[in-house]
Amino acid sequence: MEQKIHQGRNIKRFREMLGIKQEALAFDLGNEWNQKKISILEQKDVIEDGLLKQISSALRIPVEAFQNFDEEQAVNIISNTFNDQSNGYNYYPTFNVNPVEKWIEALEEIKRLNLELLKSKDEHIKALEKLLNMK
């Protein structure tokens, strides 16, 4: 048994995914369109090819998307593809970051930089004392 694709519902789904209001789509389709007419259009099972092409152009979605998209098949594909772990993707990643260790590492780096700064300062002082002794 072949399931019928509801083109109007597909238009509504894609329009909503794009965040476009019915009024905005009506505006893009021309003066003879309004929100109510779009609402009625989205309830139709089958939409004329010419009108599908206009809507396709306005939403920048291929006509075939409205003609072929079957939500039930899409849900089945998604659930069969992503609910098992066969794809190797870890949905519950484990982060092995210990904040205390990171804090200690940062403190060690600060100590190292301070020692370098002190060493540099001592060398600078010795150079200045040498200059003073020469005069």
pLDDT band, residue 3 (cuts 50/70/90): low
Whole-number Å distance between alpha carbons of 14 and 91: 27
Q: What is the pLDDT of residues 10-45, one digit of tens each?
A: 899 888 988 999 999 999 999 999 999 999 999 999
Element spanning 107, H or E: helix 99-134
Whole-number Å distance between alpha carbons of 128 and 97: 46
Q: What is the pLDDT of residues 49-76, one digit of tens each?
A: 999 999 999 999 888 888 888 777 766 6
Mean pLDDT of the chain: 84
Task: Give the residue among 4, 9, 33, 21 at the shortest CA–CA distance from 59.
Answer: 21
- Decide if 52 contacts 7 (C-beta within 8 A): yes
